[in-house]
Amino acid sequence: MANKENPSAVAENLVVTMDYKLFVDGELYDSSEEEGPIAFLQGHQNIIPGLEKELYGLEIGASKKVRVEPENGYGQPDPEAIMNLPLSELPEEIPVEVGVELELTDEEGELIGATITEVGEDFVLLDFNHPLAGKTLDFEVTIRGLRSASSEEMDHGHIHSH
């Protein structure tokens, strides 16, 4: 039986350290291989819900394949999240090419990502949907570590680097 100091399985309010590989349409899209494992506070929506709910009960060293449908990942693309921007309003240093990703600041000063999806004679179409909206996500995960969250981490709802 595990004690509070050495949790043995993924549970609510624990800090989980996890290696992952993400495949989209059968291709490797992202992985923790270069940056090292990610760490997050379980049960606080620090990661997408469809992956988070599949981790409960996994022990350190356990691996699992998890398929996440769009509804439990990044959602379906929102047709309202497409914007026509005059070329004159696009900063000069940004290449005017389909597929270019950029970050803009909204009215509240928050950074939001967009992708150029069409280039016209005097405009670009910007798609503010997450690049993985509408995609089925196939994860391969391995739990690398578990620890109790600090009271500060619990108050903030996310982990703090030590």
pLDDT at residue number 46: 94
Report the C-alpha gap between 90 and 84 in whole angstroms. Answer: 11
Q: Which contacts of 24-30 are long-range, i.e. CB under 8 A and separated by 24 or more positions?
A: 24/132, 24/135, 24/136, 24/137, 24/138, 25/135, 29/132
Sorted by where each begins, the domain ranges of the chain are 14-73+134-156, 79-127
pLDDT at residue number 104: 84
pLDDT at residue number 107: 84
Please name the residue that has the structure tokens 């670009």. Answer: 124
pLDDT at residue number 14: 95
Q: 14-73+134-156: which CATH architecture?
A: Roll (3.10)
pLDDT at residue number 106: 80
pLDDT at residue number 1: 43
- Those residues of the chain that have pLDDT short of 70 are 1-5, 162
The candidate with the shortest Cα–Cα distance to 37, out of 63, 57, 4, is 63
CATH 3.40.50.300 fits 79-127, yes or no: no
Distances 95 to 29, 71, 92, 162 between C-alpha atoms, Å: 23, 32, 8, 39
pLDDT at residue number 90: 86
Contact 10, 146 (CB under 8 A): yes
70-109 burial, b at 16+ Cβ within 10 Å, e below that, comes to: bebbbeebeeeeeeeeeeeebeeeeeeeeebebeeeeeee
